[in-house]
Amino acid sequence: MDIYGETFTSRLMLGTARYPSPDILKQSIEASGAEIVTVSLRRESANERAGQAFWNLIRETGVRVLPNTAGCHSVREAVTTAQMAREVFGTNWVKLEVIGDADTLQPDLFGLVEAARILTKDGFQVFAYTTEDLVAADRLVEAGCRVLMPWGSPIGSARGLNNVYGLRAMRARFPEATLLVDAGIGVPSHAAQAMELGYDGVLLSSAVALAGDPVSMARAFRLSVEAGRLAFEADPLQPRDMAEPSTPVLGLASFA
């Protein structure tokens, strides 16, 4: 998977919030094979000592950190948070979230595009958390975003891919962009479905962190993402309206 000129082997990315313990988080990252994890500046900087312990844990795993602007509801708030995250984590990467609705946590697409323009001009490499809206996606690409992260369904809902048609249309519209399905993934089959659509990867958090056995679930997601990508590359059989025999009829004995 290529992201802003860097190549990664794993196509699975993990969030780092809400795990039962730091040790379970570490084991889950290792079981998932993820090479990139997202981190909220707000949560990790709330307590200096706890934040340092978390940072040391992440360093031990050797993964790449992707700061996010989770919880931001305005352009100014998101831009300021991104700039602070760059100072704290030492990276120009940022997962840009500008939330527009408190109930669904749907992105504010107007604010998202505005914030993306500001941040890309400031040297950031933006991962835009968006919807499957093609017009918004066009504007984000024009603003300099090379990674788009459309939601599968609302954050934490575990409903999977609500709009497969829209996600498939986005993949077709932006063949050169890195597209990652983010939010709403609940079980490994959801992740496999996203990969079968040709998406470059998936980002998930609660599906692993809140599972009864996060480590086993992380391993399951690792396998599902690999399987979905292999299926996509294998050029799968397309659905048909009518039956087609799996056994050739040519050469069968005739008793007429």
As annotated, the binding site includes 156, 183-184, 205-206
Q: What pLDDT, on the 0 to 100 scale, is given for residue 196?
A: 97
How does residue 51 score in pLDDT terms, banded at 50, 70 and 90? low
Q: CA dist 241 to 76, 120, 238, 244, Å?
A: 51, 46, 10, 10
Q: Give the pair of three-digit tokens for residue 141.
A: 């690409």
Q: CA dist 248 to 114, 242, 245, 253, 255, Å?
A: 58, 16, 7, 12, 17
As annotated, the binding site for 1-deoxy-D-xylulose 5-phosphate includes 156, 183-184, 205-206
Amino acid identity at 28:
S
Cα dihedral sign, 178-202-195-139: negative
Q: String of b and e for 147-170 (b: at least 16 CB within 10 Å)?
A: bbbbbbbbbebbebbeeeeebeeb
CA end-to-end distance (rounded Å), the chain: 58
Give me the catalytic one of 16, 28, 37, 95: 95
pTM of the full structure? 0.90
Contact (Cβ atoms closer than 8 angstroms) between residue 98 and residue 132:
no
Q: What pLDDT, on the 0 to 100 scale, is given for residue 49?
A: 53
Tens-digit pLDDT profile for residues 111-153: 999 999 999 999 999 999 999 999 999 999 999 999 999 999 9
The answer to whether 95 is a known catalytic residue is yes
Q: All domains of the chain, ordered by start, with CATH?
A: 8-234 (3.20.20.70)
